[in-house]
Amino acid sequence: MTEIANELVLTRLIDAPRDKLFRCWTEPSLLKQWFAPLPYTVPVAEIDFRVGGASRIVMRSPDGQEIPCPGTYLEIVPNERIVVTDAYTGDWVPNAKPFMTAIVTFADEGGKTRYTARARHWSKEDCETHVQMGFHRGWGQCADQLAALAATI
C-alpha cells in the first residue's frame, strides 16, 4: 500500500481467525476487554454497528480521567474491514475537532490473521500528537490484548 501523509500503522500476525477478531471489534462486551491499554479500562462501549452508525466508547485512566472516543462507521466489510472516523459524532453531526480516521483490516493467512490498524490524521500536528501520546506502544498493547482475547472466544 502507498504511504499516506499523516498516517500511523500497526500490523500484527495474530494466531486467530479473522471472524474472532472482527467479533472483538463489534461486540461491546468483548470490545470493553481489549480496547484500552491496561491499566486503562473501557466502562462505556455503545455501538450502532452499521454504516453511518455511531460508536460511543469511553476509556478511563487509572486516576479516573475519562477519555471519550466518539466515532461514526464509514465502511464495514464483515470479517475484512472496518473504517471509523471521529469527524462525526453520530447522525452525520460534525465533530468540533476531528482527529483521525481508523482503518482496520483483517486478512486471512492460513487460519491466522494479518491485523492492520491505520490511523489517518487530519494534520501533521495531529499525527505528531498521536505519536507523543504513545500510538505505537498503546495500540501495540491493545493488539496484544485483542490477540489474547480472540484466543479465548
pLDDT, tens only, 63-108: 999 999 999 999 999 999 999 999 998 888 898 899 999 999 999 9
Residue 138 confidence (pLDDT): 96
CATH of the domain spanning 7-150, picked from 2.60.120.20, 3.30.530.20, 3.30.360.10, 3.30.365.10: 3.30.530.20
112 or 4, which is more confident? 112
DSSP state letters, the chain = ----TTEEEEEEEESS-HHHHHHHHH-HHHHHHHSS-TT-EEEEEEE--STT-EEEEEEE-TT--EEEEEEEEEEEETTTEEEEESSBSSTTPBPSS--EEEEEEEEEETTEEEEEEEEEESSHHHHHHHHHHTHHHHHHHHHHHHHHHHTT-
pLDDT, tens only, 20-63: 999 999 999 999 999 999 999 999 999 999 999 999 999 999 99
Residue 4 confidence (pLDDT): 87
Residue 2 confidence (pLDDT): 62
Residue 90 confidence (pLDDT): 80
What does the domain layout of the chain look like in residue ranges? 7-150
Residue 1 pLDDT greater than 70, yes or no? no
pTM of the predicted model as reported, rounded to 2 decimal places: 0.93
